[in-house]
Amino acid sequence: MNSARGDQVTFAENYPHEDIFMQQARKNGVELGVLDPSPAVGALIGFMAQALNAQSIVEVGTGSGVSGLWAFHGASSDSTLTSIDSEREHLGSARTSFEEAGISPQRFRLINGHAIDIVAKLADHNYDLIILRSPEDLFDLSQESFRLLKANGALIIDNAMDGGRVADPTQRDFATIARRDAIKAIKEDLRWSSALLPVGGGVLIATKIA
């Protein structure tokens, strides 16, 4: 029995070190009402970017820039990030965060608009890592991700379990159903190798194996 053990979730969330730029971006996100990735999820994004030696990254749901900063932290020094958000204010906050962190403007492209329309125009087999952080069109975006990724590229869905709502069968709102459908589709698709992790709001990681 593990009932006497410590709080491993809090321990895991306190494990990563966020630099001053990540900390400031996180504060900006609180002011904007943005749900940025937790520190543990941010560290996971950075870890995956480093493991993949990612050079080309796509993110849907820019937030205040926390996720992007973690991606740049782990990715190769010549990596580029395409980040999409429907809120101009979020993109402005992220741009400021990136510039203050000394990231060259040539390394990031911030796009305002409807994510699925923009993603549909991105090139096939061109990206090492895709990060999805918004439930809107999540099923379609997860399906498009397979097309965009290089072989052995990875998909990360942040807040995949919405803090437990996805695991509660009584929850039938649009966002919860979208998350369930995306998770189920990836689990059942033999072209993906995937894992569902209970960090932050829940994270799904999938690697393209075909």
Three-state secondary-structure class, residue 115: helix
pLDDT at 95 over 60: yes
Number of domains in the chain: 1
pLDDT tens digit string along 59-74?
999 999 999 999 999 9
Does residue 9 belong to any structural domain of this protein? no
pLDDT at 185 over 50: yes
Three-state secondary-structure class, residue 193: strand
Does residue 160 belong to any structural domain of this protein? yes
pLDDT tens digit string along 137-154?
999 999 999 999 999 999
- Prediction pTM value: 0.94
Does residue 10 belong to any structural domain of this protein? no
Residue-range definition of the domain harbouring residue 112: 18-208
Does residue 105 belong to any structural domain of this protein? yes
Q: What percent of the chain is helix, strand and coil (3-state, nearest 5)?
A: 45, 20, 35
Measured in whole angstroms, how far is the alpha carbon of residue 46 from the centre of its chain? 10
The pLDDT confidence band at residue 9, using thresholds 50, 70 and 90, is confident
Does residue 156 belong to any structural domain of this protein? yes
Q: Look at residue 210 in the predicted model and tell me its pLDDT.
A: 67
Residue 7 CB partners (closer than 8 Å, separation 6+): none
Q: Look at residue 136 in the predicted model and tell me its pLDDT.
A: 86
Mean pLDDT for the chain? 95
Tell me which residue of 184, 80, 109, 114 sits closest to 142, measured CA to CA.
184
Q: Find the helix or strand (DSSP H, E) in which 48 lies.
A: helix 39-51
Q: Look at residue 1 in the predicted model and tell me its pLDDT.
A: 47
The CATH number covering residue 175 comes to 3.40.50.150
Does residue 7 belong to any structural domain of this protein? no
The pLDDT confidence band at residue 134, using thresholds 50, 70 and 90, is confident
Q: Look at residue 135 in the predicted model and tell me its pLDDT.
A: 84
Contact, 129 vs 170, CB < 8 A? no
